Amino acid sequence: MRPPPEAVLFDLDGTLLDTAPDMVAALHALQDEESVPRLAYDSARAWVSHGVVGVVGAAFGALPETERARLQQRFIGIYATCLARETRPFPGMREVLAAIEAAGVPWGVVTNKVARLSEPILAACGLRSRCAVVVSGDTTAQRKPHPLPLLHALDAIGVAPAHAIYVGDAARDIAAGRAAGTHTVAALYGYIPADEEPAGWGAEHCIRMPMELLGVAGIPLPQAAVQP
C-alpha cells in the first residue's frame, strides 16, 4: 500500500497483545473451581480471540443459558485479578508501533473486550497513553463484525476509512474492516482455531509476524532501528 496509511487500527487479543497466558490461567482457575479437567493450553489459546464466550464455551461445552452466564461472569471476575501478569505485545510489535509513530501515523485499538478489561491491560503494557483512540466492546451500540466500532474510532481521529488499515486475527475483524471500508490485514500469528481458514476471510493482506505489517503499510523502520 502506497503511500502510508493515515491511521492503523489493531484488534487487541491475538493481534496487538499476546493475552493468552493470562486468559488461559483464568480459565484454568475457573475449571479448578468447578472440578472440571483443564483444557490443554494450546486448545484454549486458539479460542482467546473469541473472548469470554469462546473460551468458556470451548472449556465447558453446551450449557443452559443461566449456567453459561454464571461461568462467564465468574471467568471475568477471575481474569480481572490477573489481567497483565504475563500479557505482552507480540514479538516485534513494539518496534512496529515505534515505526508507525515515527512516520507520524496515529494508531489505535478496536476490540470486543469490554473497557473494564481492555483499558487496564493497555495501561499495564505502557500503551494506553500512546493510543490515538481505543474503542472497546461496550463503547458503541454494536460490536464487531459490525463496522460501527471501526467507524467510531476513525471518526474520533478524523481519518476516512479508505485511508486506514485494520489488523485482526479473526474473521469478524476482517468482516468489520471490509464493511467499514478500511484496508484489512489478517494476523496469522494470532489465535486461530485449527478448523478456521483465514484465506477465506477476504483480507487484502496476511502477515505471519508483526514486522511484516510495515512492508504492507509502506512504513519504514526508524533509522535508529536499522542495523548497519
Give the integer Cα–Cα distance in Å for 174 and 117: 23
Give the integer Cα–Cα distance in Å for 151 and 159: 9
Assess contact for 191 and 43: CB atoms under 8 A.
Answer: no
Active site residue 11: yes
Assess contact for 118 and 128: CB atoms under 8 A.
Answer: no
Helices of type H across the chain: 20-33, 41-45, 51-60, 65-79, 93-102, 115-124, 148-157, 171-180, 212-217
2: left (phi over 0), alpha (psi -120 to 50) or beta: beta
SS (H, E, C) 30-87: HHHHCCCCCCCHHHHHCCHHHHHHHHHHHHHCCCCHHHHHHHHHHHHHHHCCCCCCCC
Question: What is the 8-class DSSP label of residue 20?
Answer: H
Give the integer Cα–Cα distance in Å for 142 and 91: 31
Any idea which residues carry the catalytic annotation?
A: 11
